[in-house]
Structures are given as structure tokens and as C-alpha cells.
Structure 1
Amino acid sequence: MKKLTFKVVIAVMAILMLPIQAVQACCGFIFGRQLTADGSTMFGRTEDYPYYPNGGKHNKNYVVVEGKNYKEGDQIVDESNGFTYPHAANEMKYTATYDSARGDGSNGAFGEHGFNEAGVSMTSTVTAIPNKKVLAKDPLKADGLPEAAMLDVILPRAKSAREAIELLAKVIEEKGSAEGNTVVVADQKETWYMEILSGHQYVAVKVPEDKYAVFANTYYLGHVDLNDKENVIASKDVEKVAQEAGNYKTDKDGNFHIAKSYGPEKYAEGDRSRTYAGITLLDPKSKITYEDDEYELFRSPTDPNKKFTLEDAFALQRNRFEHLNGRFIPDDQIGVKKQGDNGANDAVRKDQYKYALGNENVIDAHVYQIDPKLPKSFGGKVWLGLGPSRNTPYVPFYGNVQDTYQAFKPQTATYDPNSWYWTVWHIDQMAIKNQDIFGKTVQDHWKMLEKQFIIDQEKKDIEYYSLKDQPEAAKAAEHKVTKDALDLSDRLFQHFKDYEKLMEKQLEAAGRKSDPYRASQPDDKQDSSTPEKPDTPKTPEKPKATEEVNKNVLPAEYYVAAPPTHDIPANAEGNPNNRFGYAATANVQVFGQASTRTEAPQAQGQASQEPSQAPQTTVANAEGNPNNRFGFAGNYEGGKDFKNIGTFSNGN
């Protein structure tokens, strides 16, 4: 049904000659090491999933893929579009964060981000949309390299960040690209940023250590010295293709401008809102305006003494325009169906409502912290927010873990109480749909935990710094690293279940109901017979005094006393964060600490005990793939009447 629905939508759009565009999906950032308080490089991305009928509810699996030897003729076969590429004879171990739907013939792997055992880290991709003129000259390839397979091609074999970019370039030249994409790859020595501009054109640059960047679903590179082979890796015809396409653009000094030549004439609204919000959050004194024609990619803070922290990275990915003093409000707060990058629905919604970084479609947020003082094989740490960034905690894991916790592995398509993703997704849904009860207390609780995680990780880092020049000892430490990661994950997941249960109790006390099984169903499958919100909600009751925190779940230092009350403005109807129009409620008890949990999670939705971790090789026809996110036939070589890409409604 998913496949049929998707094909019908695309077919109708093609017949009507309507623009078929990639949805606003994903936003990345980079902090150069000279701009961070601890001297580490940080980069990351939010993975958005706005695709009907599963917008904002798409399970992810954080796993370890073991190194493996392959014989000649063995190939990677991606099920999202049929892309193939030979396996290397000896492939390294790496981590990945796959779509749970991989292997069913309809989706693709979408590993998205990870570390390999050589200490190389990668996030792929932030989708970007080439313009029509360029694509008429150098079309995307229907069976070219897709986002879905990129991580599995690069991480098993790249031993440095530069080698990863060189391999990406080689694959694009040989096989072509299925999509326009932006990729970030790093090791302990350098970080690279790459824009894949069309079917065979690309430019990658070494990121300056004294700059930061925020980038959404478009191109940002301006003028680049293509002759600087030390710091730039580019396709040989990148200027020629722009010229022959009749879209060669220059900067004010007459130099070739990459983004203007290959990207849209102006930023899509969702790209502008996230870029502007990110820059102004990180640099409040920046002179940029919302209406600027272009935003420079690599930037210096206005304050020369500014140093970024992990908390800055988390705040960036959670940002919902709070720092703009009411100028903008996240568009998910008025139930607007986002029509997309072409601005089709701008006329029917107030200009105040914009697409936020911490939006309703985020399914995976991650921050990579690359510390050169750690052993090379550690790579660094990923701070994993596996769920909606607005109400999900970031949890640290070293890059050399040998295994991940069982709750990261269920390949379930709807709510599963044994799944990490689905549990934090449900917590977020309760928080965002009942803000008059929970306010920001859920996010504040996770922030409190994160502060303790940061303290604990600093202690662990110091312990492992001593192994920097002892590769054998660093290798032996993987067992302890993994044990610690599994132990933290287990205790934290139990805490999630306690937290989820007490939130449900508070909703029941208010006369409201949360049904994650129903809510997680595809939008075209949900039973609408029972409303999720009663017409007349009650004032929530205070939790009973007997509901105490299970001190065995997390150490005592992870807990603080629950705040007594949460005051809601009298005119709740006018509160921009009151999405569902609940009547004003004064002095409401907020959610505090979790109740004691002694039983196992519910049996419903029980996942298979040991789901596949590595991507499957089942090939699905690209045209019939409901989650072939950007592989619409009109984009490709030989496709008819290509229309430059924008969004369609996800029905949320």
C-alpha cells in the first residue's frame, strides 16, 4: 500500500507537470577545533523524515557492522535504486544508524552516519537540489550512488577522511550520483565538506579549523580555488558543465560561484529559516538578515573569544526559534501541512510560521566529537539523539564499540515498547502534544542528564588519553568501552520506560489518553474513531508521593528535585506553543521524576531477538520504491520533462 500510494502521487504530479521536489530534510553543522572549548572538532546532522505516510515516525537502528572478507565478484546491491558496487576484499568494522525497514525490498539501508575502526567518521547526507539547467546537461543517474548506500560503500574501506572523499569522487565519476547531496567526513587530523552537484560533478573542501558552518538542503559553496589540490578535490568539468548549461554564475569579483551555478536562484523557505536560525543562535551579534541573498558557508563568530561546546551543538539541533523572541514559530505548531521548498503554501499561512531545526520530522540527531587526544581507533564520540531532537537525550558512545544495546536493534515499523527509538518518540509525542502539562520539563530533564554525561565522559577520556600511542592497549580497551556503553544504555533505557509510564499517568489524571500503537501507524492507516484529545481536559493531578525514583536505574547524581509547579499564561489560546488549543490552566504540576520500574516492558510489539544488522541486498525497482527519497525518474538521465525539485504534503 505504501508503494502504491507513493507511485500514484508521483505519477499524478508528473502528468500535471507539477514540481517534484525533495522535502525539507536534514540540516548539518560543523565546529572547527579552534572554535571549540575543548579543542575537538564537532559536526553533525538532524535526519528529517517528512515522507507520507510515515512523516516523523520512522524507526532507526544504531548497530555495529563487523569487518568481513569478500571474494571477487561480491557486490553491494542497494535496494533503493539498484545501485551496485564491488565489495573490497577486506572491509573494516564500522558503526551505522540504519533505517529499520532495510531488507524488505522497498527502502534501502540508509546507514546515515558512523565511525570505522580506522577512526574515520562520516555523516551522509544533507540532500541538496541541483537546478534544472544543470540537470539538463548532467542528469542524475537512476542507478547511481544514492544516500541509501553511501555509508556502506565508504566507511568499510576508507582509512582517512581524505581517502573517503577521494573514494566518493571515484564512485561518482564511475557510477554517477542518484541525488544532489552534501557529505561531511572527518578523522583526527582533518575534516572535509563535499557537495555533490549533479550526476557527475562535485566539489569537496578541507574545512578551516577556525570556522563554523550551518547548512540545510541546498548548496552553499561560493568561490573555491580549484587549483588548490591540497585543500580542494573537485570534478574536472565542474566549471565547464555550468558554462554549457547556460548557468555559469560569478561572485562580485567575477569568480566562479558554485552554489549560484548549481543550486536554485534563491533559497527555499525551509532552508532559509533553518540556516538563519542556526547562524543567529550560534552568533547572536551576526549582521546577517533573514532576507540575505546568500549565507556564507564557513563563518567566524563576531565575538573573537567565542568557543562552542557540546551544549551549543545540542541546542542548535533542538532549536525552535526560541532565541528570536517570537519572530518565528515552528510550523508544526499550527498543524500546517508543509507544501515545501517551492513555497506553495506560503500564501495560506502566516509568515510567522517557519520550518525549524528541531522540527516534527526529525528521526535521528547526532553530534560527532573528534578528540585528537584519544587513540586513533577510538575515532571520537558520537552523541546520539536517536529520535525527535526536541525531546530526546544525547547519549555518548565511543567509535570503537563492539556492539550496541538490544533496544537499538528492533526492526519494527510501529510502536514497540522494547525499542529505543519508539520509546523516545512516544515521550516526545506526549510532551509536544500536551505542553500545558509538561511545558519544557521533559527537555530540561534530558539536559540535566546530559550535563552529567559530559562530566562522566571527560573522566573516561582522561583515562583513555594514556593509550594514545599504544594501539594494542587501545584495541584491548574495546571490551571495556563496549561493556560501559551497554551498561549505560541499559540503565538509561529503563529510565526511559519509567519516564514514559509516569507521563502516561499524568495524562490519565488530566482525562487524556496517549495511544502510541495507534499514533505510530502510517497516516493513511490510522483509526480516527477515537480522538487522541478529549474535548474538555481536566486539570492534571499531582503525582502520588509514593511514586519515587528508582535510584538503581541511574546514579544518584543524575537526579534533581522535581520543580513544584509550571505556570501557564492565562491566555493559553494565544500561546504560540499551545498547538492544540487547550484552555488555559494555571499552576499545573509538571512532570518530575520517574516512578520505580520493576517489571519488563510490555510484550506487545515484541521484536525479533537478533535482527539483521548489515544492509540487505534485495533489489527493488527504483520507480516502485516508496522510500527512494529523492530518486524520482524525472531527475535522471533520460527522464522526461525534469522539474526542479520542492515538497509535497506529508499529511501530518
Structure 2
Amino acid sequence: MIHFNEYSACTSILVGKNATVDGSTLIGRNEDAKASWPKRFVVHEHHEYRDNQEFKSTDNGFKMPLPKVRGKYTATPEWTDKEGLFEEDGINEYGVAMSATESTYANPRVLGYDPLVKNGIGEEAMVTVVLPYVHSAREAVSRLGNIIEKYGASENNGVLFSDKDEVWYLEIGSGHQWVAERIPDDHYAVVANQMAIEEVDFNNDDYFMWSPQIYDFVSSNRLNPDRSGFNFRHIFGTHDLSDTYYNTPRVWYGQRMFNPAVKQDPTSQNMPFTRKSETLISELDAQNLLSSHYQGTQFDPLGAGDEADRTKFRPVSLAKTQESHVLQIKPNLPIEIGGIHWLAMGVAAQSTYVPFLEGITDTPEAYKYHVKRDFDPKSAYWIFKLVGILVDPHYLEFGDKLKEVQQTLIEQYEQILKQTDTEASGLNSSELSQLANEASTKSAKLAMRSFKNLGQDLITNSTDFSPLNYHQDLNL
């Protein structure tokens, strides 16, 4: 029996500015943990404190001092903070985007020499203690790296960062060792719960950053299995059956989407970390990957393949997704409208990515609503989640209805964003924020209204599917 780790199991995508259709940088991720665990979406306003601040985790007791100036940022915290904040993703006022984390797993040899730290920094704290205090993606990597070195890490994780120029991916290899790689501007990367960074070039600090002692740590403890080079994935990562069936197929499908001419096996352990795509990638392409389930292959759980194939691999989009996001930083636009937090509440394949512009000062009440875990129609999470629950048992009958609503909303979002860009010319920061609030609220209300109407339609049309039904011959 194959053992799968019982932790969050996300899928991530990172795209450099020269690999996108409009010069944007893109980072995105599915937050996969529990099938019924509501999320909220909030804006933390810029704040300057008089007294020194401290963060203390409600999860593992991790604590550290914080700067007195906290920049504005968006975030998607849990419905409860009893197990930690888990703010997960957001864009700050300085034009930096962050998504944390992609859960990864280190091998026991490495952890034997540098164990994880019980009260070190973990996923639930990372966005909160990093994103409000950094002015570039590179600075964000440095800040998180310094925290890991000083306090230790309680988990192995991959963390995504971007600004308008650079995209970075940081991986925690052990309690205090980490490496980060800048995604080449004309490349993309898909990551799925496995150490991804390969050869580290210690002579190229433009594209690599690392913990100061990592080379000596590996060398002195003889942890490198290769005869030459420094392959982070080989040294710190795992290579077991869990990777083969749970992780690598998702990377395979992402690379299949963007490089269809490249032939690879879904279970290969040797797929490259980054690739140059055959065509340029849009934010919709990134969303399509994160909402995918092996469409067009025999491995699609909703497809026509045999049962063995349909259940062989873990899909990208699955029932345990709490929220999915794509963080876009557009070039040559003020951050208030050039930063877009695309957010799909619930299962991405059955939801819609609503565009929220960075300049917003608040979110709709349904998104920040303090819902309990149980279903509550006042919560945006449950508005979108409900549609997926209604579609699941009758996908053949209702799948097309869902797709039609999703496609219509995409067209409407694009129209709203285009109009916003046109109206933004010549506006000051305050006016841009007002425009961002209007456009984002309009998109969110449109999405919630459409999914509420769809949910009502699905309930009405589900009434005839009861097993207690009886179809009488009307000719009798």
C-alpha cells in the first residue's frame, strides 16, 4: 500500500514576465487541506504602531518581533485562528506578491543532521510575518531566509514570491537550510509537493539565494549522493512511490499543457524544474492549470477512461481545495490596478477566479464573514462550494451549466478590467483605490449572484433524481 503524507498538498505555478502574453509576472497555487474548511478574504490596511510589535503563533508557539510599520496587504485567513492564521496569499502595497506554502518533504538523512524545529516558523505564519514588510520579491526571499536561519522551520515548504520584474521560489530543505531560485524571465515552473530546485549555482547570486552554511552543511555531513554538482532536489528531497503517483503526474500535466510536443512519462522523477513554454502564458492559462483534472487524458476522474486509470493519480483540482489563487503583477500600470489577486473560493474546477485589484481598501462582507465551519449561505466560500456539491453527483447533467456560467463570468471580468484600465489614466493613488474598490466589488457581486442563481437552478433540477422516483408509462 502506498503511503501518502497527511499534510496540506498544494499545486503551484510560477511564470516569468517574458513567458506571459502581456509581460505580467504570475504566481498561483491551490490551497489543499480539508474538504470543509472555510476561508475568508481580507485587506489589512497600512498601519504604523507606536510600540514594538510581536507575532506569536496560536499553532506552535513560534514568536518573533515585527517592524513598527506594517504595509497594506491582502490575505486569505482561515475561518478560525485556533490552529494558526494561515493567511496563505496576497499582494502588498509595494507591489510584492507572496503565496505560502507548497508542502514538500525532506529525506530522513538530511533531517537527521538538521531536524525541523517544533516551535520554528511554519506555513500558518509566513505571509503574516513577511509580506507586509518587504518591497521586492528578492527582499522577501531574504527576509524569510533570515527567519529560517534564526528561528528554524517547523516544516519543509516551498514559497512563491513575485514583483513586476522577478519571480522567485524558495524551498526549505531542513530545520535551518534553504535555497531559492529565480524563475528565468522566459520560463515557467509547476510544483507539486516535491523538492523541485535542481542544480544550485553558488557563483550566480542574481538567480540563486541560499542559507550561508548550506554548502558546508552538505559537504561536512556527506549528504550529496551525486559525484559532482549541488542538486538540491537530490540532496534534500524524497524519491518514493508517493512522489511517483501523488506528485510527479501533476507536474507532468502542467508541462504537457505548455509544452505538448515534449513527451514525458507521468511518473518520471526527472522532469525539469523550469521550462520555456511553446506559447506565451496568460493568467487564464494559469487558472486553467490550477482547475485541471487531467482533461484530455485517460487519467481524468470525470473522463471516459477505465476505473484504474481514472483513479491512478491525484488531480490538480480536488475536493480538498479551500481556495485557489493567481497573483498577477502587470507591467507599466500603477500597483493599485496592476496588481490583481485572482481568487477562487472552494474547488477551483467548480468555482470562478474573481479579480480583486490591489488598490482595494476592503472586501465584500460575504468574503470576510466570520463563518463557522458548518454551511452558511452568507459566506462567499459556501456560496461557491455549494455549487460544486450540487454538481458532483450529477456531473453529466449539470457540468455544462457550470461551464457556461464560468465562461460568461470570464468574459465579464475581462470587460470590467479593460474599462478600469481605461478610466485609470491620470488618476492619483486615492482615486485609483476608489476605482479598484468599484471594479473589484462589481466583479465579486457578479460572481456571487451568478453562482447563487446557478445553485437555485441546480437544486430545482435535482428534485427529479431521487432513487424513490418512479417513471410511469403515460400510455397506461
TM range (shorter): over 0.9
Determine if contact 1:67/1:93 at 8 Å carries over to the other structure: yes
Q: What amino acid sits opposite 1:39 in the alignment?
A: G
Q: Match for 2:35 among 39, 56, 66?
A: 56
Secondary structure of the residue that 2:355 maps to in structure 1? strand
**Distance (Å, rounded) in 2 between the aligned partners of 1:477 and 1:82:** 40
**Which residue of structure 2 aligns with residue 38 of structure 1?**
22
- Residue 56 of structure 1 deviates from its aligned partner by 1.2
CA contact 2:178–2:214 (8 Å) conserved in 1: yes
Q: CA 1:169/1:245 → structure 2, altered by over 3 Å: closer, same or farther?
A: same
In structure 1, the residue matched to 2:296 is 323
The structural deviation recorded for 1:241 is: 2.6
Q: Are the counterparts in 2 of residues 120 and 160 from structure 1 also a CA contact under 8 Å? A: yes
Contact 2:21 2:282 in 1 (8 A): yes
State whether structure 2 residue 191 is matched by structure 1 residue 212: no
> Aligned AA for 2:186?
D
Alpha carbons of structure 1 residues 398 and 260: separation in structure 2 relative to 1, 3 Å: same
Judge conservation of contact 1:147–1:179 (CA < 8 Å) in 2: yes
1:409 to 368, 384, 392: 368
**Which residue of 425, 429, 432 maps to 2:392?**
432
Given that residues 117 and 379 in structure 1 are in contact (C-alpha distance below 8 angstroms), is that contact kept between their aligned partners in structure 2?
Answer: no
Structure 1 residue 231, shift from structure 2 partner: 2.3
Is the Cα–Cα contact under 8 Å of residues 358 and 389 in structure 1 kept in the other structure? yes
**Alignment CA distance shift 1:231-1:436 (3 Å):** closer
1:20 is displaced (CA, Å) by 8.6
C-alpha offsets along residues 317-369 of structure 1, whole Å, 9 cap, x if unaligned?
11111122x2x1339999x9xxxxxxxxxxxx668521001112111111112
Matching residue of 2:332: 373
Q: Which moved more, 1:490-499 or 1:211-220?
A: 490-499
> Which residue type is aligned with residue 188 of structure 1?
K
Match of 1:399 in 2: 358
CA separation of 1:73 and 1:481: change in aligned 2, threshold 3 A: closer
- Provide, for residues 289-334 of structure 1, a one-character-per-residue CA deviation record: whole Å limited to 9, x for no partner: 2242321111012x3xx1112221121111111122x2x1339999
Which residue matches 2:444?
Answer: 489
AA aligned to 2:378 is N
Cross-structure match for 2:45: 66
Measure how far apart 1:144 and its partner are. Answer: 0.6
Is 1:250 the counterpart of 2:226? The answer is yes
| Larger fraction in helix | 2
**TM-aligned CA deviation for residue 398 of structure 1:** 0.8
What amino acid sits opposite 1:318 in the alignment? S
- 1:77 paired residue number: 56
Number of the residue aligned with 2:77: 98
Structure 2 residue matching 1:61: 3-state secondary structure: coil
TM normalised by structure 2 equals: 0.92
1:147 aligned onto 2:106? no
Task: Give the alignment of 1:283-294 within 5 angstroms.
Answer: 283-294=259-270
> Taking structure 1 as reference, are residues 178 and 19 closer, same or farther at Cα in structure 2, changes over 3 Å only?
farther
**5+ residue gaps in structure 2?**
none
Q: Return the alpha-carbon distance in structure 2 between the equivalents of residues 450 and 507 of structure 1.
A: 26
1:402/1:478 contact within 8 Å kept: yes
Q: Aligned AA for 2:344?
A: G
> Which digits, 9 at most, give the CA deviation of each residue in 1:367-410, with x for residues without a partner?
11211111145451121111101110111111121000001022
2:46, 2:300 → 1: CA distance? Answer: 46
Is contact 1:138–1:241 with CA below 8 Å preserved after alignment?
no
Structural RMSD (CA): 2.4
Residue 642 of structure 1 is matched in structure 2 by none
1:126 aligns with 2:105: no
In structure 2, the partner of 1:28 is 12
TM-score (norm 1): 0.68
Residue by residue over 1:483-538, the C-alpha shift from the partner in whole angstroms, topping out at 9 and shown as x without a partner, is 33223323432232222111101111333xxxxxxxxxxxxxxxxxxxxxx36687
Report the Cα distance in structure 2 between the residues aligned to 1:189 and 1:282, rounded to whole angstroms. Answer: 22
In the TM superposition, 1:313-392 aligns within 5 A as 313-324=286-297, 326=298, 328-330=299-301, 353-378=312-337, 380-392=339-351
1:111-260 to structure 2, matched below 5 A, reads 111-250=87-226, 254-260=228-234
8 Å contact from structure 1 (residues 27, 45) kept in 2: yes
Size of the aligned set, in residue pairs, is 467
Which residues of 2 match residues 529-544 of structure 1 at below 5 A? 534=467
Deviation at 1:278, TM superposition (A): 1.3
Query: What does residue 261 of structure 1 align with?
Result: 235
Shift, 1:180, TM fit? 0.7
Over 3 Å counting, the alpha-carbon distance change for 1:20 and 1:278 in structure 2 is: closer
Judge conservation of contact 1:33–1:41 (CA < 8 Å) in 2.
yes
Map 1:491-530 to 2 at 5 A: 491-511=446-466
Question: Do the aligned partners of 1:330 and 1:359 also contact (CA within 8 Å) in 2?
Answer: no
Q: Do the aligned partners of 2:337 and 2:432 also contact (CA within 8 Å) in 1?
A: no
Name stretches of at least 5 consecutive residues in structure 1 with no aligned partner. 1-17, 50-54, 337-348, 512-533, 540-652
Maintained 8 Å contact 2:420/2:435: no
Paired residue secondary structure (2:76): strand
> Do the aligned partners of 2:189 and 2:275 also contact (CA within 8 Å) in 1?
yes
Q: Deviations over 1:272-301 (max 9, x none)?
A: 121111111222111222242321111012
Aligned partner of 1:25: which letter? A
Give the distance between the partners of 1:114 and 1:477, measured in 2 at CA.
19
Question: In 1, are the aligned partners of 2:137 and 2:168 still within 8 Å (CA)?
Answer: yes
1-structure distance, mates of 2:145, 2:186: 26
Query: Equivalents in 2 of 1:109, 1:415: separation in Å?
Result: 20
Q: Distance in 1 between matches of 2:11 and 2:285?
A: 15
Deviations 1:256-282 (A, max 9, x none): 110010000343421012111111122
2: CA distance between counterparts of 1:388 and 1:329?
16
Do the aligned partners of 2:15 and 2:183 also contact (CA within 8 Å) in 1? no
State the secondary structure of the residue aligned to 1:329: coil
The structure having more radius of gyration, on CA atoms, is 1
Percent identity at matched positions?
28
* Whole-angstrom CA distance in 1 between matches of 2:209 and 2:396: 52
Whose strand fraction is larger, Structure 1's or Structure 2's? 2
In the alignment, residue 173 of structure 2 is paired with which amino acid? L
Separation of aligned partners in 1, 2:159 and 2:51: 29
| Correspondence for 1:564 | none
